[in-house]
Amino acid sequence: MGDPALELAAAGVAQGPSWNLRLAQQVFSNLLEQSRRHSGFRAGAQRRAARAGLSALSVDDRGLLERWLALQVLTAPAATVVDSLDVLATVEAQLAGGVRAHLPRLAARLDPGCAAIAA
């Protein structure tokens, strides 16, 4: 009794995603959705929030975010793939490159027929 709940977790059990990763996912989701509707000051504020969320991530969480963003890009309408990658590049070019690197492999796993589209 009195032990924090975090200390009660088994050491060998994998923990869920970190709060920083969850917040970054939320910020980037909003950025990708709103980038089609807004420009100028509001888009700049969203990019600034995305950069802040990205800088708070560990290396492992960043890799998970890149994979998650690649899935978001793949499940969006095909016409928005290039636009989404361009929006990510305005936040950080390395991030867009990492997401682009995940696309062919994830596309092949989701649907073997669309792997050629993502490459």
Which residues span the domain enclosing 29? 19-118
Count: domains in the chain: 1
Q: What is the model's pLDDT at position 18? A: 85
pTM here is 0.77
Q: What is the model's pLDDT at position 114? A: 56
Q: How far apart are CA 34 and CA 39, in angstroms?
A: 9
Q: How far apart are CA 69 and CA 97, in angstroms?
A: 11
Q: How far apart are CA 83 and CA 81, in angstroms?
A: 5
Domain assignment present for 97: yes
Domain assignment present for 9: no
Domain assignment present for 107: yes
The tens-digit pLDDT sequence of the chain (119 residues) is 455 545 544 455 456 678 999 999 999 999 988 877 766 677 788 889 999 999 999 999 999 999 999 999 988 887 788 888 999 999 999 999 999 999 999 888 887 665 455 45
Closest C-alpha to 87, from 49, 45, 40, 47: 47
Domain assignment present for 7: no
Torsion of Cα atoms, 16 then 107 then 47 then 33, to 10°: -90
Domain assignment present for 1: no
